[in-house]
Amino acid sequence: MAKTLKQLAEMMKDVDFAMLSTHSEGGTIAARPMSNNRDVDYDGDNWFFACEDTRLIADLLANAQVGLGFQAKAGLLGMKPVFVHVEGMAELIRDKAAFEEHWTKGLSLWFKQGVDTPGLVLIKVHGVRAHYWDGEDQGEIVLAREVAV
């Protein structure tokens, strides 16, 4: 039986980092770790901060289709490993009010001036579908209608 979005959110709630994959120059795929801040009450959207002058932002401007890979390692007490892959569309947000809404103090490690960091961009990844594996069960959840590119 397929999991629900609420069950998927529970699987992802303690994951700190995601691997964000983009289409890059020459048809290559680029991936980089992005902090999820363990602030996941997953509703189909993920939020990440980056700087405007990065390859990541150039990739997203050229092609907004992305993949997010999550892994929660198995616990010592027999907990199952959890793997989730989200296919989605990225949107770049440059609104300071949105920055403040999604900011957590741990982000200051990367962005020393907080929400006032020059060139700061908020990336919203709107999930289209999620694939999950938890050691016993696997499946797919359609999160949204496909978005045309």
What CATH number is associated with residue 52?
Answer: 2.30.110.10
Residue 29 lies in a domain: yes
pLDDT, tens digit (0-9, with 9 covering 90-100), for 104-143: 888 889 999 999 999 999 999 999 999 999 878 899 999 9
Q: Are 13 and 40 in contact (CB under 8 A)?
A: yes
Q: Residue 148 pLDDT more than 90?
A: no
Total of domains in the chain: 1
Q: How far apart are CA 78 and CA 72, in angstroms?
A: 13
Q: How far apart are CA 55 and CA 135, in angstroms?
A: 35
* Host domain of residue 127: 5-142
The pLDDT of residue 21 is: 98
Residue 149 lies in a domain: no
Q: Are 58 and 116 in contact (CB under 8 A)?
A: no
pLDDT, tens digit (0-9, with 9 covering 90-100), for 33-74: 998 766 567 889 999 999 999 999 999 999 999 999 998 766
Q: pTM of whole model > 0.85?
A: yes
Name residue 45's amino acid.
D
pLDDT, tens digit (0-9, with 9 covering 90-100), for 81-110: 889 999 999 999 999 999 999 998 888 899
